[in-house]
Structure 1
Amino acid sequence: MKNSTLIISLDFELLWGIFDKVGTTYRPDYFSNTRKVIPQMLESFAKHEIAVTWATVGMLFAENEEEWKYYSPEYKPSYRNRNLSAYEWAKQHGIKPEVHFAPDLIRQIVDTPGQELGSHTYAHYYTLMRGQSPEQFRQDIQATQRIAEDKFETRLKSLVFPRNHINELYLGICLEEGYEVVRGNPKNWFWQETQHEDLGKKIIRSADCFFEVGERSTFFLEELKAYPNEPLILPASRILRPFSPKGLGIMNRLRLNRIKQEMEAAARNGESYHLWWHPHNFGNDPQSSMKELLEVLEHFQSLRDRFGMQSLSMGQVGELIGVPSLTT
């Protein structure tokens, strides 16, 4: 039987990931809860021997505003919609360390066995929005590499595009700057072209979290390959959506059962299953969210015992499959 694999990647952002959606209306306790729950996640991953890729916004590496500015690139994204720029938002609303910086948490990630530090770009960069350019993107991901090497002596190999906006024209730049593995979207049509967020796609994506709507999103590692001068594209399978505390117990159970059923199907068939979420998704109800996560991790342990399912980070998958060298 082929080895089945559980892959987990997390989009670690704090406010940098949602500033353009919530503005200044965010609840401070939402992010203070997030900061408290991340060490609990790390403890649980270590206990259950789970490898995880933490795709982290580079700005979170900074200790303070001075350091944040020092590592910021010269050429910043020139979006036509200036409200999408993290730099413009900070200029208008200021910097608050509790929601904009997290070097202490990143140190805990680096020090926890099995955890891979990856990139979510430096400034939560949107590669499909009008006005930005390839050179601006290159400088953005270079900035993340610099701050990761200087502060944590880590060269990042895995990257997750913010909002799942995958610009195929930029894949070569990723590999040139050291990123060997990139998370792709699930293969279903309603996960493609995510910059076009029409209502129909949103409804179907939400429904698919509870009931089988699209095709199965598991895959065989043996079928993946990296094309010349591009990183390996590692497909996502499922997002672990936030726990809903609004009395929708049956919906929470349906959502979690769907993940567990997909994991078991992958384990039985020797396939891989790539689960992802944002750590701040646990901010509304950390206790219930952690309870769900523990159920998923314990289910993985059962699948490991019964079927030999393994846990790999994005970077470990890249090492297993191999990434072609750049050609000149």
Structure 2
Amino acid sequence: MHGDGTDRRGSVVISIDAELGWGFHDLESPPRERIERSREGWLVLANLLGEYEIPATWAIVGHLLLDDCDGTHADHPAGEEWFTWDGEGRRDLRFADGLVDRVADSPVDHEIACHTFSHVLFGDGDTSREVAVAELEQSRQAFADAGLDFASFVFPRNQVGHRDVLAEFGVEAYRGGRAPDGSTLRTAAESLLGTYDPHLPEPTVDEYGLVFVPPSQYLFGFEGIYHEIAEATVGDPVVAQARLGIDAAAESGGLYHMWLHPNNLTSPLQRRRIERILASLDANRHRVRIETMADVASRVRSNDPAAVPE
């Protein structure tokens, strides 16, 4: 805190794309292991965040909030074919069945955000405005029926589009666009050597009055054999990169925004990565603010009264 009462510490945000099977239903060859472990990963992540008392923005696919459905959604303009995927007959991949409650009822003040209704890619040229409107309408209804609301929105696969529709539905903040590529061997080496320059994006207000909260780092971009070798010898470069980002935010007063999916946590190695990052963030909470996307939006708007359209 400064003498004028203003908190000018840097900010760290964690956002989570919570989608179960919906994140892959348009793919011909979905990642089977991630789908199979998606519910388990959700609970593990919720438990770790609770253990370290770290709030996050959980962007939920709206369909997960339904109690049941007819499997066709004939009133949705995307067409019945879009919804013919049935999760291989498994309800646990189509509906949350208590997982969202696990987050919403947590003693940690998580933010519940929207990740569309059915994981439609808003940035795809084939996604019409009509479809985008339906995704927001049906998400709003599903959230309301569950006693929830949302102010933030995460674009599936970070593909930005139809921001005007978000504004019409009262959305205040969004995440989209690509973070710098952290999956290269060069980036891994720089992270471990401490020479990596973290990406600290500036939140901005767009022409629709929405606060853009850009991503800094995808926490599972560097995987495979090279990651396993690094982890076994010199340490996890993703953890090193995250720690550098937290330090940079603390020293500069900027924003460091990390994101992931619950289904990324498919092994003890990956869970250990998240635990180490959360432990580092917890140890630095006196140096940085741990915020949600909604917190960032509120702060940006309060510092810039002109950000809210008349």
Please classify the TM superposition score into its range, dividing by the shorter chain length.
0.7 to 0.9
Correspondence for 2:111? 116
Q: Secondary structure at the match of 1:106?
A: helix
What residue in structure 2 maps to residue 17 of structure 1?
A: 23
CA distance in 2, matches of 1:65, 1:23: 25
Distance apart, 1:89 and its partner CA: 3.1
2:213 is aligned with 1:234? yes
Secondary structure of the residue that 1:20 maps to in structure 2?
coil
Backbone CA RMSD of aligned residues: 2.9
Query: Is the 8 Å Cα contact of residues 182 and 222 (structure 2) preserved in structure 1?
Result: no
Q: Is 2-11 or 121-130 further displaced after alignment? A: 121-130
- 1:198 is aligned to none
What's the counterpart of residue 134 of structure 1? 129
CA distance in 2, matches of 1:99, 1:4: 37
> What letter matches 1:185 in structure 2?
G
- Report which stretch shifted further, 30-39 or 47-56: 30-39
Closer, same or farther in 2 for the Cα pair 1:212/1:161, shift >3 Å? farther
Whichever residue aligns with residue 278 of structure 1, its letter is: H
1:130 Cα deviation from its structure 2 partner: 3.5
In structure 2, do the counterparts of structure 1 residues 48 and 144 end up closer, same or farther at CA, with 3 Å as the change threshold?
same
Is residue 2:262 matched to residue 1:256? no
Structure 1 residues 239 and 209: CA distance shift in structure 2, 3 A:
farther
Unpaired runs of 5+ residues, structure 2, are: 3-7
Aligned to 2:183: 206
Distance in structure 2 (CA, Å) of the matches to 1:175 and 1:242? 31
Give identity over the alignment, percent.
21
SS state of the match for residue 9, structure 1? strand
CA contact (8 A) 2:58 2:112 kept: yes
User: Does the alignment pair 1:157 with 2:151?
Assistant: yes
Give the 3 Å change call, closer, same or farther, for CA 124–106 of structure 1 in structure 2. Answer: same
Relative to structure 1, the CA distance from residue 263 to residue 76 in structure 2 (aligned partners, 3 Å threshold; closer, same or farther) is same
Report the residue type matching 2:96 in the other structure.
A
Q: What's the offset of the Cα at 1:215?
A: 6.5
Q: Residue 62 of structure 1: which of 60, 66, 70 is its match? A: 66
- Letter of the 2:175 counterpart: R
Deviation, structure 1 residue 118: 0.7
User: CA separation in 1, counterparts of 2:199 and 2:69?
Assistant: 41
TM-score between both structures, scaled by the size of structure 1: 0.78
Q: Which runs of 5+ in 1 are unaligned?
A: 189-203
Given the alignment of the two structures, is residue 175 of structure 1 paired with residue 158 of structure 2, yes or no? no
1:195 aligns with none
3-state DSSP of counterpart to 1:21: coil
How big is the shift at 1:45?
1.4
Please state if 1:288 is matched with 2:269: yes
1:166 aligns with 2:160: yes
1:218 and 2:200 are equivalent in the alignment? yes
Partner of 2:5: none
Deviations along 1:106-143, whole A, 9 cap, x unmatched?
Answer: 01111112211111100101123243311210111111
The residue correspondences of 1:184-199 to structure 2 (distance < 5 A) are 184-186=176-178, 188=180
Preserved CA contact (<8 Å) 2:175 2:215: yes
